Amino acid sequence: MNARRTVRGLSLHAVVWLIGAFAAAPLVYAVVSGFKSTAELTANPFGLPERWKAGNYTGILGDGMFWRQLANSAGIAIGTTCCTVAASAMAAYVLARYAFRGRELFYTLFTIGLMFPFSVAVLPLFLLLRTLGLLDNPLGVILPQAAFGLPTTIVILRGFFRTIPAEVEEAAVMDGCGKFRFFWRILLPMARPALGTVSVLAVVASWNNFFLPLLVFDGPDWQTVPVGVQQFQGQYATDYALVLAYIVLAMVPALAFYAVAERQLTGGLTAGATKG
């Protein structure tokens, strides 16, 4: 029995390592290829560089436009996350803790939003942003991203808020705590795992968004990282090694953020299921 369990554990570890190697292989290839010249990459695409060329990476890191795109993406992601989490927390609180006629209908309307991709609303959204004067304005990206992030965030937060016992709120009310104070001082601190989870999801979704910044921003001043990658690839289409180096550097902030937030993400998604 122990031998069978050991074999099963080793098999699972082997499968995990195999999947990890399969997922990491493209990233490792891109990192190594960024140290080559384009001629060497064409002649020897899979081998190690004969002469490591760090100039591809240092040249990009010395470009002010690259850092501006990182700052733009970070600012838009933070703004989107703040708007999404603030609005969703208040809506989820009402939908989870108050019983009123039409509550489930409102919740269903929010969940229906999960079925509609952003591409469905491109034309009316563009016309609306133009009417409001939000083209080439970061608010023209932050507000729509926050709106499209509401359904997922409300679903997660409502499920978490409903796991908090009603006795907690009753005790707080008996101590003279009002509804808003209970929400702000007691409920939100208890919901930190869920708030952390939806914050991570909002940041990642905003950072990876390509189509909306491309639609809203006309000039280079507010370009984000995904748009910058596309522009850089078009400008240096024949310099494959330089393009790969740019892509690698553009991925580093997202990978670093996910590495730090991964435990918060997985813990928050399971916290609501383990509370009782």
- Give the model confidence (pLDDT) of 197-209 as tens digits: 899 889 989 999 9
DSSP 123-191: HHHHHHHHHHT-TTSTHHHHHHHHHHHHHHHHHHHHHHHTTS-HHHHHHHHHTT--HHHIIIIIIHHHT
Residue 118 has pLDDT above 50, yes or no: yes
- Give the model confidence (pLDDT) of 219-263 as tens digits: 888 999 999 998 898 888 888 889 999 999 998 888 888 777 776
| pLDDT at 2 (0 to 100) | 65
Of 199, 198, 202, 168, residue with least CA distance to 185: 168
- Give the model confidence (pLDDT) of 77-113 as tens digits: 999 999 999 999 999 999 988 888 888 888 888 888 8
Residue 276 has pLDDT above 50, yes or no: no
- Give the model confidence (pLDDT) of 32-87 as tens digits: 998 988 888 888 888 888 888 888 899 999 989 999 999 999 999 999 999 999 99
| pLDDT at 151 (0 to 100) | 92
Residue 275 has pLDDT above 70, yes or no: no
Cα separations in angstroms, 26 against 9, 20, 35, 251: 27, 11, 15, 12
